[in-house]
Structure 1
Amino acid sequence: MSKSHRRTPWWSWWLLILTVVLGLGLVTPPAHASPPVRGRFTEAPAPPPDPLATVGQVGPAIVDIDAQLGYQNAVGAGTGIVLDPNGEVLTNNHVIAGATDIKARDIGNGQSYDVDVVGYDRSHDIALLRLRGASGLPTANLGDSSQVAIGEPVVALGNAGGVGGTPSAVAGHVTALNQTVTASDALTGSSETLSGLIQMDAAIRPGDSGGPTVNAANQVIGMNTAASDNYKFSGGGTGFAIPINQARAIAGQIRAGAASATVHIGPTPFLGVGVTDHGGNGAKVVRVLPNAPAAQAGIAKEDVITAVDGQPVDSATALTSILDQHHPGDTISLSWHGPLTGEHTANVTLTEGPPG
């Protein structure tokens, strides 16, 4: 007797096919699968823009700045970013600090200009300048520094070494964001903490200060801030830039004439002393300029300034900050003591002095 054969139902074949497909992994990953890693390199970063091409695109919108530091018998150099066709220029405060005369050469038209300081913010290292008689200048294309990312390629332009002429340009990448450094000013004895900085591996040099850091689209996303002979950093990193959003906001405040605890508008008040910290108990005088207000009041080297208008002075930075709230022609009550002469208080009328 022959055996009977049962035919396999049609739906069994479809079940087999579906089982094979699932076995091959052609399904949606489980909900707990790890997402892609962001914020760290999984491959080589993009190459930086061509520095020479960047110079051609961005160079016409910057200026070389030369500062004569008459009281120090020295000269300084830096860079500025043109914000307005009529000669409004953004730069670092430390580029023009202590300058008795400032001139700027516009890269776009090759002309030199005398410079007025509109105002400055010492604590954020920002100054706004105006080129006398300027018009029709090419202006910088400002970007959005809030969009800057670690690993992004950049080029930093400036007047490296103070040689002038064709801007220097160094390429690199953003290596860190929101960095903090302490900067000390040898001219005034004051120190400031700069925060929120962009750190990059582009080797910016003295003279580049105040120049633009630009992205691959040739947009200015930061302002170079480099150490110099008189302006020293503590902290690591090859180069730092102030985010352009921060710099632009402070420039707008200066332009509007909105003085504050950190923003000074107009000419700088001048006491005529060089000071250093005195262990938290005042600002010790290390230099007195002849015929300046301090000398006329009888202040001498080694004296310690302790108060202005009754407000205690506990450091060189504090004295600078208090004086920044005044203007030439203001009369202040100045208190000090000398190692041999004891305590003194006198009214002193401030004159106009070097900016920053």
Structure 2
Amino acid sequence: MSEQGLQGTEAAGTGIVLTSDGMVLTNNHVINGATSLTAVDIGNGHSYGASVIGYDRSHDLALVQLHGASGLQTLSLASGTQVSVGDAVTALGNAGGRGGQPSQAAGSVTALDQRITATDEGSGSSEQLSGLIQVDAQIEAGDSGGPLVNAQGQVIGIDTAASVGYQFQSAPTEGFAIPATQAESTAEAIAAGHASSTVHIGATAWLGVGVGTANQYSSTNGAAVVQVVPNSPADRLGLLAGDVITSVDGASVPDPNTLTALLGQHHPGDTVTLGWTDSGGQAQSARVVLGNGPAG
């Protein structure tokens, strides 16, 4: 369960326990925006607080650490397993966020190497998720981060589902899963602390704005500010709804995706130079210390 304190909401998902001391793999969108995380291990029934080790938005994966966990039952990713169209599969998860024993949704593989666009309504950014396994199993919100297993019980993928605030565009009413090979590669990179252009390690730097595509709100290209969180770095800087962020440290910000990517290279406490055009059309620039923001 992720508590998204800034929105006053909660989100539920599923995770795969990779190590007996509580390293858990899940979808990034499950933890995205979380100000606190809790998890219940179905093996022992215990509830744990958790923190984010790192995440990869471009593959919708995140690694979290359960606090004080030991002796947990684990699952292995069957990354070398051949997956073919027609294979029988079962998606395990927490359908609808109801908790308890894992829900099961049976089906078969209908396509491989699929691409969808996933939009994060909170940040205004979108990601192209590619290489996905498509199935006709009914994967629901809450199943996200759970295992997709084949007829032999091997984990061949990580379920991913649209949910409130995280929507798929032009996706058929079928389920998708991230292949185990990709999931394992990303999990290993995060666990090793190997940051990259897609992998973020540690706490999330935070400006404190909700943004949208500028041409929907303004004639200026950039990330249009539609909300400023009170007492955030953006608020203290004086940003207002209607302003358009145009650069970070001199790098152009043509859209919300770019703003997310540029801020994702930083950590709380970093100072950046922000450029923006105010609602009166005047160019502004100032240095701002980034805060410690919600996960993902």
TM-score (norm 2): 0.97
- 1:41-52 correspondence runs (5 A): none
Contact 1:199 / 1:237 at 8 angstroms: preserved in 2?
no
Deviations 1:324-356 (A, max 9, x none): 000000000000011226111000000111011
Contact 1:67 / 1:96 at 8 angstroms: preserved in 2?
yes
Higher mean C-alpha deviation, range 339-348 or range 199-208:
339-348
| In structure 2, distance between residues paired with 1:76 and 1:145 | 32
1:131 aligns with 2:71: no
| In structure 2, distance between residues paired with 1:70 and 1:111 | 23
Q: Which runs of 5+ in 1 are unaligned?
A: 1-65
Aligned pair partner of 1:231 in 155, 166, 178: 166
Please report how far the alpha carbon of residue 146 of structure 1 lies from its aligned counterpart in structure 2 after TM superposition: 5.1
Q: Percent identity?
A: 57
Deviations 1:134-185 (A, max 9, x none): 0110001321365001100000000111111111101000000000000000
Find the residue that maps to 2:108 and give its secondary structure.
Answer: strand
Deviations 1:299-332 (A, max 9, x none): 0011000000000001111100000000000000
Indicate the RMSD between aligned Cα atoms, in angstroms: 1.0
Find the residue that maps to 1:78 and give its secondary structure.
Answer: coil
Aligned pair partner of 1:326 in 266, 280, 290: 266
Query: Which runs of at least 4 in structure 1 moved beyond 6 Å after TM superposition?
Result: none
1:354 aligns with 2:294: yes
Find the residue that maps to 1:71 and give its secondary structure.
Answer: coil
Query: Structure 1 counterpart of 2:211, which letter?
Result: V
Contact 2:79 / 2:184 at 8 angstroms: preserved in 1?
no
Aligned pair partner of 2:246 in 306, 312, 319: 306
Aligned pair partner of 1:222 in 157, 174, 185: 157
Aligned pair partner of 2:4 in 65, 69, 76: 69
- 1:201-212 correspondence runs (5 A): 201-212=136-147
| In structure 1, distance between residues paired with 2:238 and 2:29 | 30
Find the residue that maps to 1:99 and give its secondary structure.
Answer: coil
- 1:1-356 correspondence runs (5 A): 66-144=1-79, 147-234=82-169, 235-279=171-215, 281-340=221-280, 342-356=282-296
Aligned residues: 291
| In structure 2, distance between residues paired with 1:187 and 1:267 | 18
Deviations 1:264-322 (A, max 9, x none): 00000010000011138100001000110001011001100000000000111110000
Q: Which is bigger in relative contact order (C-alpha 8 A, separation at least 6)?
A: 2
Larger helix share, 1 or 2: 1
Query: Structure 2 counterpart of 1:216, which letter?
Result: A
| In structure 1, distance between residues paired with 2:203 and 2:79 | 31
Query: Structure 1 counterpart of 2:104, which letter?
Result: A
Deviations 1:32-84 (A, max 9, x none): xxxxxxxxxxxxxxxxxxxxxxxxxxxxxxxxxx0111111111000000000
Query: Structure 2 counterpart of 1:210, which letter?
Result: G
| In structure 2, distance between residues paired with 1:290 and 1:339 | 19
Find the residue that maps to 1:295 and give its secondary structure.
Answer: helix
| In structure 1, distance between residues paired with 2:292 and 2:100 | 32
Higher mean C-alpha deviation, range 280-289 or range 329-338:
280-289
Query: Structure 2 counterpart of 1:112, which letter?
Result: S
Find the residue that maps to 1:84 and give its secondary structure.
Answer: coil
1:31 maps to which residue?
none
| In structure 1, distance between residues paired with 2:40 and 2:281 | 49
